[in-house]
């Protein structure tokens, strides 16, 4: 009798432990310590989905000339189909600045998914941001704007964050999302007329993995940020930790005024991603072809092994712009990726700071 009882208890314990093991495996699949940055190909525009174990946010929601909103929405639908635990919910949408190539899909995003929070630089210009702010209350969307007076208050040099900017709270591997720079609260001169120079600069940390998103910030804004954070480093000096990152989302779609050597020295990145349209798409006036993107001088700066530290294997040849409507072949040997060449790009980051990059072209 005692032997039989022991056998029953052993079997029951085994079944229980197997069930526990199964639950843990399922939890690990959903809540494993990895994140993925999805750089979605939206033509000459910007939209990046950040996927974490317990939530997702969207940085920018643009598309090119009405050609790519369907792909953006279908990409997000497919993503949420694979992550039913997220309930088709974006914890926040962060817009770097008001230009349409970063905002034009805001309505489609809100129509198809739940958006809990919306963050921008406080400039209400642009159809997308203006529309969203009008419907925010009725849709339960919490609004938050950030300008440089807040970021630099009392000499603060840690950036700004809170539960709206960083609503992601994953047990065991919690990311950190911080806004490092924005527009001046009082707009004067070029800052008043140039929306690019009002871009939010966003840093995302996931364990030892780090990303920097600079929107369309141009040289004036970039230098202002570098000077504030003591980021102009001489040869042999260590860059300030707040600017030192692994992955650089290349500013202003790889334009000649969006990336500087000083910024690269401060970041010391190992991977660069350029969100840019294809040079052979010539419909309309707002295309990579008409703007001349990405510029060859920026690519040469990035492709220097002193600036992007890791190599791309195999190397890849892309179309580089010498000017508007003038392109030549250029070979990337460093770990540089473009949506025009690589399509939708996924960068999977592990908590230990290792990365896996995949494209769909």
Looking at domain 34-359, which CATH architecture does it have? 4-Layer Sandwich (3.60)
CB–CB of 175/204 below 8 Å? yes
Banded model confidence at residue 234, pLDDT cuts 50, 70, 90: confident
- pLDDT digit string (tens) for 319-340? 999 999 999 999 999 999 999 9
Tokens 């840093």 locate to 203
pLDDT of residue 185: 73
Q: CA torsion 177→181→184→190, rounded to 10°?
A: -130
pLDDT average, residue stretch 246-272: 97
- pLDDT digit string (tens) for 39-91? 999 999 999 999 999 999 999 999 987 667 789 999 999 999 999 999 999 99
pLDDT exceeds cutoff 90 at 22: no
Identify the residue with better confidence: 181 or 4. Answer: 181
Banded model confidence at residue 3, pLDDT cuts 50, 70, 90: very low
| H helical segments located in the chain | 2-31, 69-82, 100-103, 106-112, 127-135, 148-151, 190-193, 219-228, 261-267, 288-291, 296-303, 339-342
pLDDT exceeds cutoff 80 at 216: yes
- pLDDT digit string (tens) for 168-196? 999 999 999 999 999 887 766 676 778 88
Banded model confidence at residue 23, pLDDT cuts 50, 70, 90: very low
* pLDDT, averaged across the chain: 89
CB–CB of 322/351 below 8 Å? no
pLDDT exceeds cutoff 90 at 292: yes
What's the CA gap between 166 and 361, in Å, rounded?
A: 32
Picking from 264, 257, 269, 270, the residue whose alpha carbon sits closest to that of residue 297 is 257
Picking from 35, 277, 42, the residue whose alpha carbon sits closest to that of residue 172 is 35
pLDDT of residue 128: 85
- pLDDT digit string (tens) for 100-143? 999 999 999 999 999 999 999 998 667 789 999 999 999 999 99
């Amino acid at each position: 009798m005692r032997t039989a009882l022991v056998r029953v208890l052993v079997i029951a314990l085994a079944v229980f432990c197997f069930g526990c093991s199964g639950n843990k495996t399922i939890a690990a699949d959903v809540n494993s310590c990895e994140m993925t940055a999805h750089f979605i190909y939206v033509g000459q525009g910007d939209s990046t989905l950040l996927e974490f174990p317990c939530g997702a946010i969207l940085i920018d929601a643009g598309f090119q000339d009405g050609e790519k909103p369907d792909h953006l929405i279908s990409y997000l639908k497919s993503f949420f189909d694979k992550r039913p635990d997220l309930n088709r919910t974006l914890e926040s949408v962060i817009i770097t600045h008001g230009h349409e190539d970063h905002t034009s899909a805001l309505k489609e995003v809100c129509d198809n998914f739940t958006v809990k929070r919306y963050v921008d630089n406080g400039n209400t210009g642009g159809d997308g941001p203006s529309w969203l702010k009008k419907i925010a209350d009725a849709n339960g969307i919490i609004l938050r704007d950030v300008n440089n007076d807040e970021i630099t208050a009392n000499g603060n040099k840690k950036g700004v964050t809170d539960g709206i900017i960083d609503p992601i709270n994953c047990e065991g591997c919690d990311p950190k999302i911080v806004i490092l720079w924005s527009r001046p609260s009082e707009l004067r001169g070029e800052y008043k007329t140039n929306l690019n120079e009002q871009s939010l600069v966003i840093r995302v940390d996931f364990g030892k993995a780090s990303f920097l998103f600079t929107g369309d910030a141009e040289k004036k804004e970039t230098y202002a940020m570098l000077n504030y954070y003591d980021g102009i480093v001489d040869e042999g000096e260590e860059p300030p930790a707040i600017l030192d990152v692994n992955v650089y989302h290349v500013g202003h779609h790889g334009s000649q005024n969006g990336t500087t050597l000083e910024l690269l020295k401060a970041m010391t990145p190992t991977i660069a991603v350029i969100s840019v349209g294809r040079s052979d798409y010539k419909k309309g006036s707002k295309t990579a072809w008409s703007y001349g993107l990405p510029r060859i001088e920026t690519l040469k700066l990035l492709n220097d092994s002193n600036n992007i530290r890791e190599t791309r294997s195999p190397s890849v040849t892309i179309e580089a712009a010498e000017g508007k409507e003038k392109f030549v072949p250029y070979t990337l040997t460093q770990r540089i990726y473009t949506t025009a060449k690589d399509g939708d790009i996924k960068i999977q980051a592990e908590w230990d700071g290792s990365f896996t990059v995949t494209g769909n072209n």
